[in-house]
Amino acid sequence: MLLRAGLSRTFLVSALLGSAALGACTRSSQPSTSSSSSSSTPAAADSGHGPRLYVSDETGSAVVVVDPEAGRVVQRLSVGKRPRGIKLAADGKHLLVALSGSPIGGPGVDESKLPPADRDADGIGLVELPGGEVVRKYQSGQDPESFDISPDGKTLFVSNEDAAEMSVLDLDAAAVRARVKVGEEPEGVTVRPDGRVVYVSCEGENEVVAIDTAGFKVLARMKTGPRPRAIAFSRDGATGFVTSENGGIVTVFDSAGHTVTDTIQIPKNPGATTPPRPMGAVLSRDGAKLFVSLGRAKSIAEIDVASRKVTRVIEDVGARPWGIAISADGSKLYTANGPSGDVSVVDIATGKTEKRIAVGGSPWGVAVKTAS
């Protein structure tokens, strides 16, 4: 798909700067549930000025636009096949979303019976807001899942799940500059705050790979718990945190020496049937806490960054919360709950799930736009 006339390459690069987005138990009260559904979502452009959530719907080939204050869906954008990783541009007028033509597999799926992949569907879509037109689709390498952006906004780092690679996308040239072999099933991608190193979690290898962003050389491989997912950093970038879905832990590493320094065990709720499954991660606005979505355990763990201790577990959030984001004022958490097809709004102070907003399909990631 070609770039729409009038949208300059310089604008694209600048728009990507600062793109947005991952103890005691607190039992939440019964949240309100919106009656919005994909079939009733308005097709017209979103004209609202309040905060918005952009939720990638992996099975619905769409991005769902949600008003978190009103608790309703306001728009549904058709973007392409299997949208997953999603980020908002700094100007709030464009959205980046990873699109994949690979069929959905996963545990227990006989991949020999899946349909062939549609490689023409692979790419990073650039979506103009509020109309929802995909104005460009960048090359991304095969089966893009997640991505992050360099601090200068000129380079995109993309995990290519099927190819066991990380692709380096030069946005000025609109071309893949390099491909780095990282290991089986690369998933999370996060650039260190100083921009010098990018990290990729590899589910099939149970490790995180550190890559130099200047020469694209592998600097280190650090072992994690089983099935690593998201990577997050302390505000100073000195400490990295890696969620481990099948290990029920968060691996902590020193980003200078690339050594594992600690392991944080997420406690299981005695009354829960499923152990914690750490998935997404997002830092609090003040940098003091790390919030981790716990997948099929239907909860969120709160971790004190300084002490590396679990200080709270917020229960009854939703069915398999995965993608997680935080509001601009730092008072709310938002989770994408795939199996139940909804998005939860959680008040951080009280630990209560205030709303579960039906969006349909299979919500994967969440990006937040502040009120305009």
Q: Encode pLDDT of 25-71 as tens digits.
A: 343 344 655 544 333 344 467 877 889 999 999 999 999 999 999 99
User: What residues make up the domain containing 201?
Assistant: 16-42+49-369
Asked if the structure places residue 10 within a domain, the reply is no
- Per-residue pLDDT tens for 70-123? 999 999 999 999 999 999 876 678 899 999 999 987 666 777 788 899 999 999
User: For residue 289, what pLDDT band results from cuts at 50, 70 and 90?
Assistant: very high
Question: DSSP string of 242-269?
Answer: EEETTTTEEEEEETTTTEEEEEEEPPPP
At which residue do the structure tokens 């795939």 appear?
Answer: 338
Angle (CA) 345 349 352, round 5°: 45
Query: Quick one: pLDDT at residue 112?
Result: 76
- Please compute the mean of the pLDDT values over residues 157-165 and round it to a whole number: 96
The answer to whether residue 141 scores a pLDDT higher than 90 is yes
Asked if the structure places residue 3 within a domain, the reply is no
The answer to which of 189-193, 348-352, 368-372 has the lowest mean pLDDT is 368-372
Q: What is the pTM of this model?
A: 0.89
The answer to whether residue 4 scores a pLDDT higher than 60 is no
Which of the listed ranges 12-21, 39-48, 52-61, 166-175 does the model predict with the highest average pLDDT?
52-61
Q: Which residue has the higher pLDDT, 22 or 327?
A: 327
Is residue 121 within 8 Å of 98, Cβ to Cβ?
Answer: no
Distances (CA, A) of 72 to 41, 61, 88, 340, 358: 9, 19, 20, 16, 8
How many Å apart are CA 362 and CA 290, to the nearest integer? 25
The answer to whether residue 16 scores a pLDDT higher than 90 is no
Query: Quick one: pLDDT at residue 12?
Result: 43
Asked if the structure places residue 272 within a domain, the reply is yes
Q: How is residue 294 written in tokens?
A: 């716990």
Query: Closest Cα to residue 183, out of 158, 157, 159?
Result: 159
Q: Would you tell me how many other CB atoms lie within 10 Å of the CB of residue 168? A: 21
- pLDDT exceeding 90 applies to what percent of the chain? 76
Q: Which residue has the higher pLDDT, 366 or 149?
A: 366
Query: Closest Cα to residue 300, out of 314, 287, 310, 288?
Result: 314
Asked if the structure places residue 174 within a domain, the reply is yes
- pLDDT exceeding 70 applies to what percent of the chain? 86
Asked if the structure places residue 9 within a domain, the reply is no
Is residue 334 within 8 Å of 68, Cβ to Cβ?
Answer: yes
The answer to which of 39-53, 145-159, 193-207, 307-321 has the lowest mean pLDDT is 39-53
| Helix, strand, coil percent content, the chain, rounded in steps of 5 | 5, 45, 50
Residue 205's CATH number:
2.130.10.10
Q: Which residue has the higher pLDDT, 153 or 334?
A: 334
Q: How many domains does the chain have?
A: 1
Query: Quick one: pLDDT at residue 28?
Result: 38
Asked if the structure places residue 140 within a domain, the reply is yes
Q: How is residue 95 written in tokens?
A: 């959205």
Asked if the structure places residue 156 within a domain, the reply is yes
Q: Which residue has the higher pLDDT, 27 or 287?
A: 287
Calculate the average pLDDT of the chain.
Answer: 88
- Per-residue pLDDT tens for 223-255? 999 999 999 999 999 999 999 999 999 999 999
